[in-house]
Amino acid sequence: MASIKDLKKDINYVLGDIIEAVYIVEAANNKQDSKEGASIIDGAIATFDDLIAKVNKRGVEDRKAHLKAVKEELETKAKGLVEELNKLG
């Protein structure tokens, strides 16, 4: 199923971009290793682990609806992390 592969890539790219953006903002503001930045990175990693576990979950009643819910959760959690990132800069 290509959609599962694509969803995993989306999760990886979106959260990876957020982590990279934290490093860029911190470097631009000379605030390397700030607590706020570390919190955003930790949140992105935890979200990644959680979403990948949900994608890999077997025995789901309606697989298509389950994957759609995972994609929507990615969007909402990514928006929250980006809002935190915007406060960082």
**What pTM did the predictor assign?**
0.90
* Burial bucket for residue 8 (CB in 10 Å: 0-12, 13-18, 19+): middle
- Domain extents in the chain: 2-88
pLDDT of residue 67: 93
Q: What is the pLDDT along the chain (89 residues), one digit of tens a residue?
A: 558 999 999 999 999 999 999 999 999 988 887 899 999 999 999 999 999 999 999 888 998 999 999 999 999 999 999 999 999 87
* Burial bucket for residue 34 (CB in 10 Å: 0-12, 13-18, 19+): middle
Q: Are 18 and 78 within 8 A, CB to CB?
A: yes
Give the whole-angstrom CA distance, residue 40 versus residue 28. Answer: 17
In degrees and rounded to multiples of 5, residue 32 shows phi and psi of -60, 145
